[in-house]
Amino acid sequence: MKKYHKITPEGIRDYLFEECLLHHHVEHRLGEVYHNRGFRQVVTPGLEFYDVFDPERSGIPSETMYKLTDRKGRLLVLRPDSTLPIARLTATRLQGQEKPLRLFYNQQVYRNHPGLSGHADEIMQSGAELLGAGGHRADLEILVTAIEALSACVPDFRIELGHAGFFRAIVASMGLSEDILEDIRGFIETKNYPALDEILDTLPQCNEVSALRQLPRLFGREEIFEQAESLALPECAKEPIRYLKKLYAMLSELKLSNRIMVDLGLVQRNDYYTGIVFRAYVPEAGEAVLVGGRYDRLLELYGSPMPAIGFAANVDILADVVAAQGEQTAVVPQQVLVHGEEGFEIKAFEYAAQLKERGISCEISVFEHRDQAIHYAMATGIPRIDFVADTTDSIMLTKEENG
């Protein structure tokens, strides 16, 4: 039988020294933004019951989840999403906390993508959730937090802003099956005009069908609001447009509208979104680096109804973009290698502790002989070796020796 003990599964990768530091710095920058805006960190389990992510309410296809069973035969999944566990946590352990709750997290999610799709199956996400607050103030707070978080990592990005209620209002009276709705959503999101026209041509022609044809084209700046309002649609479909227009005006007053593109074709497949939805993109990446939206009905599923909004940033993509832009994080070698001569091992540990108390970073030599310690220090870039015996003597290695 073929052995796989030397490779990682498709969609999974190892991270080495500088990559780990870069990921840590990105997480730290994002975390500082959250902390400075009053968010507190939580961690949810990597394993959850399958019921938490029931596809009928999560919009996450069952086949994309990594599944296993516990000793009682109950179906578990590796966490494919962070918002649903946050909702579960809020409705249970945090139920008695004063609202609104400002929570943030840094944790992995797992999605089983088709082979050769180019998507990672293990993703480090960093996100913020504002639970127990509705209305434009909360929406504005999350959007501003998202902009600040991205600005702390990358200089060039755009946020595409839409509203889940707009698409729902258009299709509400059309009586379409879930399969047809899913196809229409997919073609609108990918802006696949021929496929969208082909499926819409099979439907009775009406104002709603005409509006659906236009959705992928309703992408741009504030002029999109006028175009959308000119469509022959019921009042319930125009209310989301008026709301987005108000929110966009507020972002303009904050001088942040230059970061915003309006996209009324943003029809998230996650069914728990109820209000604004948004995604962020950077020129160096082909997929969204941040996704978010309002999900006011999600916590009803856990018996604790409340409005909520949040977003999740892809730390892996952000770290790759930061590296591509030339920002490097080098692993800095220790300042001193402490080598204890035979019989002076304990004294070497005590000496190293004294160096650390003085703020000098050091590493204990695990070699038997001096020449081995010197070779190691030269190979790893440690500039100084302290040899500990009855007395302590030092060797300073030149840059050329280290090189």
DSSP assignment of 359-384 equals T--EEE---SSHHHHHHHHHHHT--E
Name 248's Cβ contacts closer than 8 Å, sequence gap at least 6: 161, 222, 225, 257, 260, 262
CA atoms within a 13 Å half-sphere pointing along the CA-CB vector of 6: 2
Backbone angles phi, psi at 260, to 5 degrees: -110, 135
% of the chain surpassing 90 pLDDT: 57
Q: How far apart are CA 324 and CA 338, in angstroms?
A: 37
Q: Taking 50 as the threshold, does the pLDDT of residue 169 lie above it?
A: yes
> Is the dihedral angle over the CA atoms 86, 89, 95, 98 positive or is it negative?
negative
Q: Is the pLDDT of residue 84 over 60?
A: yes
Q: Which residue has the higher pLDDT, 89 or 181?
A: 89
Averaged pLDDT of the chain: 89
Higher pLDDT, 197 or 75: 75
Residue 399 scores a pLDDT above 70: no
Contacts of 76 (CB under 8 A, 6+ apart): 47, 48, 49, 50, 67, 68, 69, 70
Distance (Å, rounded) from C-alpha 163 to C-alpha 363? 55
Positions of CATH 3.40.50.800 in the chain: 336-402
pLDDT of residue 352: 95
pLDDT at 117: 58
For residues 1-21, average pLDDT:
82
Residue 271 has pLDDT above 70, yes or no: no
Q: Mean pLDDT throughout 360-377? A: 94
User: What is the rounded average pLDDT of the residues 311-340?
Assistant: 87
C-alpha span between 57 and 271 (Å, rounded): 6
**Could you tell me which of 239, 236, 238, 258 has the C-alpha nearest to residue 248?**
258
Q: Where are the alpha helices (DSSP H) in 39-171?
A: 55-58, 83-91, 135-151, 164-171
**Whole-number pLDDT of residue 116:** 53
Distance CA 236, CA 32 (A): 40
Question: Confidence band (pLDDT; 50, 70, 90) for 4?
Answer: confident
Distance between CA atoms of residues 351 and 381, nearest Å: 21
Tokens at 364, concatenated: 């204990």
pLDDT at 403 over 70: no
pLDDT of residue 338: 95
Percent of the chain scoring above 70 in pLDDT: 95
Please write the tens of the pLDDT for every residue from 211-228.
Answer: 888 888 889 998 999 888
pLDDT at 309 over 60: yes
Instruction: Tell me which architecture the domain covering 336-402 has in CATH.
Output: 3-Layer(aba) Sandwich (3.40)
d(CA 288, CA 266): 12
Question: 48 pairs with which residues across the strands?
Answer: 77
Residue 99: its pLDDT value, please? 92
59: confidence class by pLDDT, cuts 50, 70, 90: confident
Residue 378 identity: M
The answer to which of 9-13, 82-86, 95-99, 145-149 has the lowest mean pLDDT is: 9-13
Pick the residue with more confidence: 403 or 180? 180
Whether 115 shows a pLDDT value over 90: the answer reads: no
CA distance 382 to 307: 55
Please indicate whether residue 188 or residue 350 has the higher confidence score (pLDDT).
350
Reduce the DSSP state of residue 218 to 3 states and report it.
Answer: coil
Q: Taking residues 89-98, what's their average pLDDT?
A: 91
* Arithmetic mean of pLDDT, 278-294: 92
Longest dimension (CA), the chain: 95
Q: Residues spanned by CATH 3.30.930.10 within the chain?
A: 17-157+282-324
Question: What local confidence, expressed as pLDDT, does residue 369 receive?
Answer: 93
pLDDT digits (tens, 9 = 90+) for 18-44: 888 889 999 999 999 999 999 999 999
Residue 400 confidence (pLDDT) = 44
Element (H, E) at 400: helix 399-402
pLDDT(157) > 70: yes
Token pair in block for residue 122? 């293990």
pTM: 0.87
Residue 176: other Cβ atoms inside 10 A: 16
Check whether domain 17-157+282-324 has CATH 3.40.50.720, yes or no? no
